[in-house]
């Protein structure tokens, strides 16, 4: 039987690069995509080893259908799952609607856990792997991406717990933590956050204008100079098939830099971040 991987978020970016890389080495990839057009494009490029599935990761019925398809396949054995699908909700936490915050966690945290729970019976039978695609944002919470970072912090915590809980079953749990990557996630996030910001009261827009402008320039630079998705795909492949996988694979020079800043004493860390985004303390009130 051929080894197979179930991968979410395969339509674009890291997921697409991972699907194509794994298929090129002979792995069957059950690739979770959002549309038939995405499925057709991925299949055309990756060949018969790509088996697209329309998956909505926040829908339990969609997850159950994907599991049933994979469990019913007679020619493959499930070697692992890759929780890659994710969204980024950006903006000042003061302005983010509760629905946007919940959506952030539904996709980035609750969905991966639901997929793990659904697929664990299959993984127990094969001693397969779980790879959760996190972010350096799971270690370093920058201003204006607090919602996204919070969801990744939560995913990191759950993965740490799962890694020990599933050790007796022989199931390794791996985190992949990229820094800035050339993917569509941040351009989609910028469009959504701009709408939230435009709807805010004028006094709040003014309060955040300078810092947001600085963060947008930093984000644009990261997007322009970010690493290729293929580099993250290589780390995912290692997490899936290395004989002795690491608990974490940090990917990208900026990820290492931000991790170093995150480990500094809080006062020093905050001073560095505040200076970077232009978060100045208010002047003392006059007596």
Catalytic residues: 148
Q: Are 207 and 143 in contact (CB under 8 A)?
A: no
Spatial strand order in the sheet of 173-178:
50-54, 28-33, 2-7, 76-83, 129-133, 173-178, 248-251
224 membership: H or E segment, kind and range: helix 202-225
Please provide the size of the chain in residues.
287
DSSP 8-state assignment for residue 26 = T
Q: Distance between CA 180 and CA 270 in Å, rounded? A: 21
178 and 232 Cβ atoms separated by less than 8 Å: yes
Token couple for 187? 């351009």
Residues ≥6 apart with Cβ < 8 Å to 272: 261, 264
Neighbours of 35 (CB within 10 A): 11
Q: Say which DSSP state 181 is in.
A: B
Q: Which of 254, 247, 264 is nearest to 137 (CA)?
A: 254
Residue 158: CB atoms within 10 Å: 17
CA distance 20 to 110: 26
């Amino acid at each position: 039987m051929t080894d197979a991987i179930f991968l979410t978020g395969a339509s674009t970016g890291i997921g697409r690069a991972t699907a194509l890389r794994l298929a090129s080495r002979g792995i069957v990839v059950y690739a979770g995509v959002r549309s038939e057009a995405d499925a057709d494009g991925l299949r055309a490029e990756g060949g018969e080893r790509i088996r697209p599935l329309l998956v909505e990761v926040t829908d339990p019925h969609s997850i159950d259908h994907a599991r049933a398809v994979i469990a019913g396949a007679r020619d493959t054995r499930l070697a692992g799952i890759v929780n890659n699908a994710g969204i980024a909700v950006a903006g000042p936490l003061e302005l983010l609607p509760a629905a946007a915050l919940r959506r952030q966690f539904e996709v980035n945290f609750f969905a991966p856990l639901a997929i793990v729970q659904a697929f664990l019976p299959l993984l127990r039978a094969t001693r397969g792997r779980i790879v959760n695609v996190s972010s350096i944002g799971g270690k370093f919470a920058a201003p204006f991406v607090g919602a996204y970072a919070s969801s990744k912090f939560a995913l990191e915590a759950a993965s740490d717990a799962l890694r020990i809980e599933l050790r007796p079953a022989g199931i390794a749990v791996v985190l992949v933590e990229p820094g800035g990557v050339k993917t569509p996630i941040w351009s989609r996030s910028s469009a959504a956050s701009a709408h939230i910001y435009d709807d805010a009261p004028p006094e709040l827009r003014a309060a955040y204008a300078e810092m947001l402008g600085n963060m947008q320039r930093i984000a644009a630079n990261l997007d322009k100079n970010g690493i290729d998705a293929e580099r993250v795909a290589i780390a995912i492949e290692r997490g899936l098939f290395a004989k002795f996988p690491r608990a974490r694979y940090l990917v990208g020079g900026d990820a290492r830099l931000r991790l170093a800043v995150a480990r500094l004493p809080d006062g020093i860390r905050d001073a560095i971040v505040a200076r970077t985004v232009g978060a100045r303390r208010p002047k003392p009130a006059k007596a």
